[in-house]
Structure 1
Amino acid sequence: MATLTPARKFIAGLALAVSTSVAIAATPSPFTATYQVLQGGQVIGEAVVSLKATGSGQWEYSNQTRGTSGLAAALGANSNETTRFRWNNNAPETVAYDSRVNAFKVKQRHTEVNWSTNQVSVDEGKGADTYAATSGLVDRNTTPYAIGLALRGGKQTVTLPVAVRRNVENQQFKVAGSDDVQVPAGRFKAQRVERSDSDKAFNAWYVPQKYPVPVKLSQSEGGNLTLQLVSYRQL
């Protein structure tokens, strides 16, 4: 297997790791959150996550990342993920998801959910794969967002149907402890959430009664990246 370069690890990790949450309510509240992206303790990038209403009961959740130092900055490495979702039972339910990653080459993914036929279509440029949708379906962009909402609702374990390349994957998460966390946005007593159905290291720290947005997120897949909340602004 080929070894990923630091720039490729940076982009892969950003695409997999970055996402946030919004305070739970009858409907979502628009916001903007900014994160530092670190690797090996060094800041190498920035991620900006935002939520806004698009009308007709739908919302747009976007995550834009860019390299700000080192090789990632020199290459102009960046990624953009955008999800359009509807609000169903106080939780997001994906309608469409688009991802564009730009490093040495451009990689794209388009996911469309037809809720009238309950079919998911995923296309990465080589023809679409289709499979049956599941109620409450989310995508990789909105997964940590959905976790945060569930924590705000008092849950300690969360199972989410996530649309991946060729099927729906039921991903499981649990509150594994409580930690003191220091990030640029402040010092918090946070709930540490781990993925329990996979050996892929995933840790996200939430303060759900303040705002269910991860104040810190760390995972080994994609280059051992850590994200730290810098600011959160409700619009």
Structure 2
Amino acid sequence: MRTLKLPSALLAGLSLALSSTAVLATPPTPFTATYQVSQAGESMGQATITLKSLGNGVYEYSNQTQGTSGLAAALGANSSDVSRFRWNNDAPETVTYKSKVNAFKVKQRAMQVNWTTKQVSVDDGKGPSTYAAQPGLIDRNVLSLAIGLALSKGSQSMTFPVGVKQQVEQQQFKVQGTEAVQVPAGSFHAERVARTDSDKHFEAWYVPKQFAVPVKLAQSDGGDLTFQLIHYSSP
């Protein structure tokens, strides 16, 4: 992710609640990143994450994971997370989010944000939940990208309004330091970011001057998964 210094007056429109002073960045550059995915230390497959522009300030951010080894391959396990967000006030704001996980059974979730009425609707097949949207609201899929964009602007601690099933969570993250990380894509000195407002394990290692997304991510949400970067390309 390339970072450009723009006039400081533009900072007034920043919608993400960041606790440190940030340098404004241009809209994100489209990219494709592939990851090696493991669960509880066992290889399970690959993930492909793509960002593409749909025009008029709208982007599609997709995470497609395929089980290619072990039990995941035997079950034909796969997942798809597709978000569309608008670039508003120099930050992403979710418009729609669709998630589908196919393993033992199929689980689906759909989120839609009506920015005219400022209402969020979430449906996981058990009936929709509706609640008020907040400026800068993102979904759980866009979160890792939003963290990378914030880091590229110099942020060290940050808070994001994340839409979950029945409410908006103010999720907090902080840079814990710089560490050497070895992943299939190479060796990097990366900024380690951890979630600080929850006991749910989330750690991600970013190299924000090179990549918009982490080179490594480990989280308990979704089944003790670890993602390690294999390849990253952008126009």
| TM bin (shorter chain) | 0.7 to 0.9
1:38 aligned partner, one-letter code: S
1:138 aligned partner, one-letter code: I
Q: Quote the residue 2:152 is aligned against.
A: 152
Where do 5+ consecutive residues of structure 1 fail to align? 1-21
- Going from structure 1 to structure 2, the CA distance change for 1:106 and 1:23 (only over 3 Å counts) comes to farther
- For residues 135 and 105 of structure 2, the distance between their equivalents in structure 1, rounded to whole angstroms, comes to 35
What secondary structure, in the 3-state scheme, does the structure 1 residue paired with 2:144 have?
helix
Structure 1 stretch displaced more, 142-151 or 207-216: 207-216
| Equivalent runs, 1:116-131 vs 2, <5 Å | 116-131=116-131
Structure 1 stretch displaced more, 212-221 or 163-172: 212-221
What secondary structure, in the 3-state scheme, does the structure 2 residue paired with 1:71 have?
helix
- For residues 222 and 94 of structure 1, the distance between their equivalents in structure 2, rounded to whole angstroms, comes to 21
- For residues 39 and 112 of structure 1, the distance between their equivalents in structure 2, rounded to whole angstroms, comes to 30
- Identity of aligned pairs, percent? 63
- Going from structure 1 to structure 2, the CA distance change for 1:40 and 1:97 (only over 3 Å counts) comes to closer
Contact in 2 for aligned 1:205/1:217 (Cα 8 Å) = yes
| Equivalent runs, 1:63-142 vs 2, <5 Å | 63-142=63-142
- For residues 52 and 37 of structure 2, the distance between their equivalents in structure 1, rounded to whole angstroms, comes to 23
Structure 1 stretch displaced more, 164-173 or 49-58: 49-58
1:225 aligned partner, one-letter code: L
1:98 aligned partner, one-letter code: K
- For residues 175 and 183 of structure 2, the distance between their equivalents in structure 1, rounded to whole angstroms, comes to 20
Contact in 1 for aligned 2:44/2:72 (Cα 8 Å) = yes
Contact in 2 for aligned 1:23/1:149 (Cα 8 Å) = no
Contact in 1 for aligned 2:43/2:70 (Cα 8 Å) = no
- For residues 32 and 88 of structure 1, the distance between their equivalents in structure 2, rounded to whole angstroms, comes to 22
Structure 1 stretch displaced more, 37-46 or 134-143: 37-46
1:201 aligned partner, one-letter code: H
Q: Quote the residue 2:182 is aligned against.
A: 182
Deviations 1:159-179 (A, max 9, x none): 000000000000000001111
Contact in 2 for aligned 1:60/1:85 (Cα 8 Å) = yes
1:166 aligned partner, one-letter code: Q
- For residues 191 and 225 of structure 2, the distance between their equivalents in structure 1, rounded to whole angstroms, comes to 19
Deviations 1:106-144 (A, max 9, x none): 111110000001000001122211000000000000001
1:205 aligned partner, one-letter code: W
How many angstroms does 1:95 deviate by? 0.4
- For residues 116 and 55 of structure 1, the distance between their equivalents in structure 2, rounded to whole angstroms, comes to 20
Pair 1:52-2:57 in alignment: no
How many angstroms does 1:208 deviate by? 0.8
How many angstroms does 1:213 deviate by? 1.5
TM-score by length of 2: 0.88
Deviations 1:169-195 (A, max 9, x none): 000000011110000111000000000
How many angstroms does 1:56 deviate by? 2.8
Aligned-pair Cα RMSD in Å = 1.3
- For residues 2 and 76 of structure 2, the distance between their equivalents in structure 1, rounded to whole angstroms, comes to 33
- For residues 52 and 221 of structure 1, the distance between their equivalents in structure 2, rounded to whole angstroms, comes to 26
Deviant stretches of 4+, over 6 Å: none
- For residues 139 and 52 of structure 1, the distance between their equivalents in structure 2, rounded to whole angstroms, comes to 17
Structure 1 stretch displaced more, 177-186 or 50-59: 50-59
Contact in 1 for aligned 2:49/2:63 (Cα 8 Å) = yes
Instruction: Give the aligned length.
Output: 214
How many angstroms does 1:87 deviate by? 0.3
- For residues 221 and 126 of structure 1, the distance between their equivalents in structure 2, rounded to whole angstroms, comes to 21
How many angstroms does 1:40 deviate by? 4.1
Question: Which gives a bigger RCO, structure 1 or 2 (Cα 8 Å, sep 6+)?
Answer: 1
How many angstroms does 1:224 deviate by? 2.4
